[in-house]
Structure 1
């Protein structure tokens, strides 16, 4: 074959030998019997250019079964749940702001009421005509000053 003077013919019809391996006989296990495995036969194929391809037959790979898709996608369910949660939070925030506004108005009215009552009490004390006033009574008498002495 490696001889440079040898030129192969277009269709070499030399005899092809097909080798079939003998199956291995498994030795029986002392504890559990083992089923003998069948060794597949070797197949040879002659290509149009004269080459011989020998090998074992391989079973076609079975595709994995396609899982059924749900009627509604997970993304759509997640978006819907997010929208429901957002609406619940917005309603709670609306109620919270309404409560804070009402509480602020109540506190403001209480402060104004306290200022009016306290101011009225102060005004009654200042402008009242009550006869009892606390303090010291001073009687001023006519005094005569002679020679730098005070005589009362």
Structure 2
């Protein structure tokens, strides 16, 4: 079943055909265009590397990327600070609301007292008007057949 083949491998495991890729040679380097004089330090240095097969690769050296500094986190989160400030503000408002409620209750009591005072004064004035002696004493007067009846008294 697993008998070796002519290549020494079991049947069913033959090697696939191998493709060989040959590298394409690089085009020759053209002479560089004349350069304008530039301040030193503005252009990075050029580095040349000789490969094992004799080719020379020239290029700019790259400085490794420096990671950005990590922002320092505050000891207390901003959310906690906002909640604390909101609590302080709410506490300050609650004191004012208690005072406002007390003021409204006192104002309502004052209005109630003024209404009672007005009723007593006005009621007293009405009582004085009704029970005061104005013109005649006694009860009601009825004129019937030229006779005058006063309360419980006949004048004929």
Structure-2 change in CA distance of 1:95 and 1:25 (3 Å): farther
State the secondary structure of the residue aligned to 2:47: coil
1:27 corresponds to which of 8, 26, 36:
36
In 2, the alpha carbon distance for the partners of 1:39 and 1:80 equals 58
In 1, the alpha carbon distance for the partners of 2:78 and 2:146 equals 108
Q: 1:91, CA displacement in angstroms?
A: 1.4
In 2, the alpha carbon distance for the partners of 1:43 and 1:80 equals 66
In 2, the alpha carbon distance for the partners of 1:41 and 1:70 equals 48
Contact 1:42 1:55 in 2 (8 A): yes
1:95-114 correspondence to structure 2 within 5 Å = 95-114=99-118
Task: Return the structure number with greater relative CO, CA threshold 8 A, min gap 6.
Answer: 1
Name the count of aligned residue pairs.
Answer: 118
In 1, the alpha carbon distance for the partners of 2:78 and 2:30 equals 55
TM-score by length of 2: 0.55
- The corresponding residue for 1:50 is none
RMSD, matched Cα: 4.2
Gap runs ≥5 in structure 1:
1-5, 47-53, 134-138, 144-152
Gap runs ≥5 in structure 2:
1-17, 137-142, 148-156
